[in-house]
């Protein structure tokens, strides 16, 4: 039993610790937002629509310059390409980024055959062409244009450059395209992350046809032929979008191609984004400490825990493999909605047998978690990272994923005692679920391949929202509330990430 003095000292320490954490979180958010907004200073940033394709124009006001059309990769959006758009706009170019059909806030679904060049690829090329037409019609555009694309869009911009004689330069990030030859495109810079082994090997092969190596330049940009391949140090498929060396290479290549020399710094926003999100996540600690204190939940016995952590993860893909799971106009989201629902139902059924179903206590904390995640964390994501707020056409997708996501997250929270479980148990449950998705891909690789590309979204969800939910759960002991809150956020994140797709016509 603590004396009144000892109790007072303990309470003072808690208050001071909360104040310190709050101060650190607010400083991180403030500094991060300052660094993120600084590259925008002095730019004119407007939104236009090319048909139904939403696009963002960034430029120095009144500039007369070449145009750079910037295209994102699969499951991306124009926000993801901001480091390159900001850097090139600050260098004096008129830059236009856009959301491909089926992506971001573009209301038109992707269509056609994704396995055939004459299918989806041609449709996305046509969309790129329409955006290029609109970009060249902007006030100040001097008639010259470059295309820049990442990942999926690297193939699109390469092929579009081959059929559009107006394109004077191509910059491709994480290139994979069978359309590249020793002669075409005539002026191309290839940027890969140093950790993209297979894509770097392809870049070396392309340069090898010209008897050159990675890091060497063949020809002179702006003349009849030029090509260069660069490995951007210490980054991978997404990190290559934020690394300063790649931004400098792209800017300098375009400057050489168009006879320009403007620099004005690069917008390497990766660390400011991480700093801001770190502060947003950290701020949940004092928020959680302000919530009602709940009792500690009983630990699930080891034998039951292992059965509940592993058996549903194994059974779910095996059960779904024998059923038709296509019912949504979006790539693999329909399967994932069912996978989440079946997994969650199996775990909760097992918990019911064990007598460990989560109780209805402090259920409203889920609303706090969901609101904070969608409005604060989501607001940062939507402005600086990727599209997070959906157009109306995505709401049915959200509604379809939501029940399964809530079931899965309530099951997850119950298994982990609302975050009170030992660390190794948390790792086991999350890794088992990711492995379950891996088994599903292995059983139907051709159809479910795109699940692999969504796995980083789920991993990021665990590292951020899972951590925030754990803090709230350990404080309140509400597995139900935490599970519902996490389920809402997970369903939202998945609904805005999957490209809308209507299939071949």
Alpha-carbon separation of residue 66 from 130, 150, 164, 418 (angstroms): 17, 20, 15, 55
User: Is pLDDT above 90 for 298?
Assistant: no
Q: Are 264 and 59 in contact (CB under 8 A)?
A: no
Which pLDDT value is given to residue 458?
87
User: Is pLDDT above 90 for 228?
Assistant: yes
The model's pTM is: 0.92
Which pLDDT value is given to residue 2?
55
Which pLDDT value is given to residue 504?
56
Q: What is the DSSP letter of 182?
A: S
Q: Looking at residues 27-54, what average pLDDT do you find?
A: 97
Burial class (CB in 10 A: 0-12, 13-18, 19+), 214: middle
Instruction: Tell which phi-psi region holds residue 13, choosing left (phi > 0), alpha (psi between -120 and 50) or beta.
Output: alpha
Q: What angle do CA 107, 109, 115 make, to 5 degrees?
A: 155
Which pLDDT value is given to residue 47?
97
Mean pLDDT (the chain, rounded): 93
Which pLDDT value is given to residue 263?
80
Q: Are 25 and 282 in contact (CB under 8 A)?
A: yes
Range from 27-41, 102-116, 198-212, 320-334 carrying the lowest mean pLDDT? 320-334
The pLDDT-based confidence of 270 (bands split at 50, 70, 90) is: very high
What are the sequence ranges of the domains in the chain? 42-266, 272-497
Rg, Å, the chain Cα set: 25
Give the whole-angstrom CA distance, residue 376 versus residue 468. Answer: 13
Q: Give residue-wise pLDDT tens across range 367-400.
A: 999 999 999 999 999 999 999 998 898 998 899 9
Q: Please give the residue that has the higher pLDDT: either 451 or 246.
A: 246
- Percent of the residues in the chain that have a pLDDT greater than 70, as a whole number: 97
CA 266 to chain centre: 22
Give the whole-angstrom CA distance, residue 46 versus residue 56. Answer: 6
User: Is pLDDT above 50 for 37?
Assistant: yes
Give every CB contact of residue 469 below 8 A, 6+ residues apart in sequence: 369, 413, 419, 482, 485, 486
Which pLDDT value is given to residue 1?
57
Q: Are 305 and 425 in contact (CB under 8 A)?
A: yes
What number does CATH give the domain 42-266?
Answer: 3.40.50.1820
User: Is pLDDT above 90 for 334?
Assistant: no
The residue behind tokens 């109306």 is: 392
Output helix, strand, coil percentages for the chain, rounded to the nearest 5.
Answer: 55, 15, 30
Which pLDDT value is given to residue 266?
95
Task: Give the end-to-end CA distance of the chain in Å, rounded to a whole number.
Answer: 74
Which pLDDT value is given to residue 355?
84
Which pLDDT value is given to residue 277?
97
Retrieve residue 280's tokens: 């947003």
Q: Please give the residue that has the higher pLDDT: either 174 or 5.
A: 174
Retrieve residue 106's tokens: 């573009």
Q: Classify each residue of 51-60 as buried b or exposed e, where b means 16 or more C-beta atoms within 10 Å of its C-beta.
A: eebbbbbbbb
Alpha-carbon separation of residue 96 from 40, 84, 86, 222 (angstroms): 15, 11, 10, 21
Q: What is the DSSP letter of 298?
A: P
Give the whole-angstrom CA distance, residue 351 versus residue 353. Answer: 5
SS3 label, residue 457 = helix
Q: Are 157 and 128 in contact (CB under 8 A)?
A: yes
Instruction: Tell which phi-psi region holds residue 14, choosing left (phi > 0), alpha (psi between -120 and 50) or beta.
Output: alpha
- Percent of the residues in the chain that have a pLDDT greater than 90, as a whole number: 79
> Could you tell me the strand order of the sheet in which 65-71 lies?
44-50, 53-59, 94-98, 65-71, 141-150, 167-173, 187-193, 226-232, 217-219
Q: What angle do CA 427, 431, 437 make, to 5 degrees?
A: 160
Number of H helices, E strands in the chain: 18, 9
User: Is pLDDT above 60 for 100?
Assistant: yes
Give the whole-angstrom CA distance, residue 378 versus residue 366. Answer: 16
User: Is pLDDT above 70 for 305?
Assistant: yes
Give the whole-angstrom CA distance, residue 241 versus residue 235. Answer: 9
Residue 322: which of 448, 451, 452, 443 has the closest Cα? 443
Helix intervals (H) in 170-241: 197-208
Which pLDDT value is given to residue 6?
56
Tell me the CB-side half-sphere exposure of residue 476, using CA atoms within 13 A.
Answer: 30
Give the whole-angstrom CA distance, residue 157 versus residue 153. Answer: 6
Which pLDDT value is given to residue 505?
45
CA 390 to chain centre: 14
Give the whole-angstrom CA distance, residue 409 versus residue 484. Answer: 7
Which pLDDT value is given to residue 257?
97
CA 353 to chain centre: 38
């Amino acid at each position: 039993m603590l004396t009144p003095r000892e109790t007072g000292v303990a309470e003072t320490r808690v208050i001071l610790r909360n104040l310190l954490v709050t101060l650190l979180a607010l400083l991180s958010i403030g500094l991060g937002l300052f660094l993120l907004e600084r590259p925008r200073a002095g730019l004119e940033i407007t939104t236009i629509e090319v048909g139904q394709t939403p696009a963002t124009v960034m430029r120095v006001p009144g500039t007369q310059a070449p145009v750079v059309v910037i295209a994102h990769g699969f499951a991306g959006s124009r926000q993801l390409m901001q480091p390159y758009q900001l850097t090139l706009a600050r260098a004096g170019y008129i830059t236009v980024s856009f959301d491909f059909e089926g992506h971001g806030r573009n209301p038109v679904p992707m269509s056609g055959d994704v396995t055939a060049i004459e299918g989806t690829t041609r449709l996305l090329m046509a969309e790129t062409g329409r955006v290029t037409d609109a970009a060249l019609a902007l006030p100040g555009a001097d008639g010259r244009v470059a295309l820049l694309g990442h990942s999926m869009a690297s193939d699109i911009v390469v092929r579009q450059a081959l059929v559009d004689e107006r394109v004077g330069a191509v910059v491709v990030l994480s290139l994979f395209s069978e359309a590249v030859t020793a002669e075409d495109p005539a002026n191309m810079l290839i940027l890969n992350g140093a950790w993209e082994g297979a894509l770097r090997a392809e870049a070396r092969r392309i340069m090898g046809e010209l008897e050159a190596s990675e890091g060497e330049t063949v020809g002179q940009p702006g003349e009849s032929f030029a090509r260069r391949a660069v490995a951007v140090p210490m980054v991978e498929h997404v990190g290559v979008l934020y690394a300063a060396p790649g931004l400098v290479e792209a800017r300098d290549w375009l400057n050489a191609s168009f006879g320009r020399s403007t620099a004005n710094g690069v917008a390497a926003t990766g660390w400011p984004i991480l700093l801001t999100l770190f502060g947003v996540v950290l701020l949940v600690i004092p928020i959680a400490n302000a919530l009602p204190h709940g009792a500690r939940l009983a630990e699930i016995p080891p034998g039951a825990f292992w059965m509940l952590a592993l058996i549903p993860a194994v059974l779910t893909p095996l059960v779904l493999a024998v059923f038709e799971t296509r019912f949504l106009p979006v790539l693999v989201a329909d399967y994932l909605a069912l996978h989440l629902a079946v997994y969650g139902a199996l775990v909760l059924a097992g918990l019911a047998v064990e007598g460990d179903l989560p109780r209805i206590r402090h259920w409203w904390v889920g609303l706090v978690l969901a609101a904070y995640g969608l409005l604060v964390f989501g607001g940062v994501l939507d402005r600086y990272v990727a599209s997070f707020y959906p157009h109306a056409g995505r709401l049915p997708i959200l509604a379809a994923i939501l029940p399964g996501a809530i079931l899965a997250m309530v099951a997850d929270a119950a298994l982990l005692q609302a975050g009170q479980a030992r660390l190794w148990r948390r790792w086991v449950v999350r890794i088992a679920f990711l492995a379950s998705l891996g088994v599903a891909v292995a059983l139907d690789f051709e159809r479910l391949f795109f699940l692999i590309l969504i796995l980083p979204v789920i991993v990021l969800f665990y590292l951020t929202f899972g951590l925030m939910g754990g803090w709230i759960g350990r404080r309140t002991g509400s597995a139900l509330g935490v599970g519902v809150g996490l389920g809402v956020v997970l369903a939202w994140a998945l609904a805005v990430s999957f490209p809308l797709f209507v299939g071949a016509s």
